[in-house]
């Protein structure tokens, strides 16, 4: 395998089975109880902003993006990001993050947040969100809450519990009706 054989594509439904297998391998069955999974369960990810790395017909890595809300703030949540073990440390993860950030900016997203390792994501443009500013629907290590700001002030607008953007929309509609 050479890196030259790997190409990067927008995700389609045809990739779903292989992406599930990659995430199972990377995170195990415990992934379903993670905070980020709980948010994605409420409305799913945004396929148009999610990408795969493929070697021929084989998906070797995946990154997904989900529209989220926290208080007045809106963002995309990056994750899961996972690379098949045989393809790790070739720069594929970094490239997928860069592609996802570029797509997010083009789509007009104000910020991208995630739950992940600062030593990995810091050099890719993510900073810690100040402790206590946001929370997740399940416990997470606050030092792993990171954000990449696209529009100035967008990260400061994120506050309180992060939820799927669809849930925030429903709540806004209900409050407009009362
Ligand atoms: C984390 C992961 C996505 C990185 O993808 P990758 O394609 O192997 O990584 P890249 O080739 O882009 O980058 C490799 C570099 O990142 C470093 N790195 C990998 N995981 C890291 C982590 N969790 N923390 C800090 N650095 C990390 C490697 O040591 C390597 O460093 P080097 O360039 O100095 O040698 C991949 O290892 C993976 O799928 N892990 C399991 C799932 C996971 O933890 N996902 C991230 C949480 S959302």
| Cα 84 to ligand 1 centre (Å) | 11
Per run of 10 residues, the mean pLDDT along the chain (length 178 residues) is 86 97 92 88 94 97 97 96 96 98 98 97 98 94 97 97 88 74
By residue range, what is the domain housing residue 59? 3-177
pTM over 0.75: yes
Specify the pairing of strand 111-115 against strand 73-83.
Answer: parallel
CATH code, domain with 168: 3.40.630.30
Residue 17's pLDDT is: 98
Domain count, the chain: 1
State pLDDT tens for residues 118-127. 999 999 999 9
| Cα 109 to ligand 1 centre (Å) | 25
Q: Residue with the nearest Cα to atom 32 of ligand 1?
A: 89
In this structure, what DSSP letter does residue 27 have?
H
CA 47/CA 155 separation, integer angstroms: 23
Locate the ligand 1 atom nearest the alpha carbon of residue 92 and give its number.
Answer: 7
Residue 1's pLDDT is: 60
């Amino acid at each position: 395998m050479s890196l030259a054989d790997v190409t990067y594509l927008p995700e389609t439904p045809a990739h779903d089975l292989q992406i599930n297998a990659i995430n199972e391998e990377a995170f195990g069955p415990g992934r379903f109880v993670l905070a980020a999974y709980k948010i994605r369960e409420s409305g799913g990810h945004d396929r148009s902003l999610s990408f795969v790395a493929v070697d021929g017909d084989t998906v070797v890595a995946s990154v997904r993006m989900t529209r989220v809300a926290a208080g007045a703030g809106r963002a995309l949540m990056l994750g899961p990001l996972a690379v098949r073990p045989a393809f790790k440390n070739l720069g594929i993860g970094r490239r997928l993050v860069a592609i996802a950030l570029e797509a997010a900016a083009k789509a007009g997203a104000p910020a991208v947040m995630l739950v992940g390792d600062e030593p990995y994501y810091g050099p890719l443009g993510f900073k810690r969100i100040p402790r206590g500013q946001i929370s997740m629907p399940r416990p997470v290590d606050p030092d792993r809450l990171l954000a990449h700001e696209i529009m100035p002030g967008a990260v400061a607008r994120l506050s309180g519990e992060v939820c799927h953007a669809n849930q925030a929309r429903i709540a806004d509609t209900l409050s407009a009706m009362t």
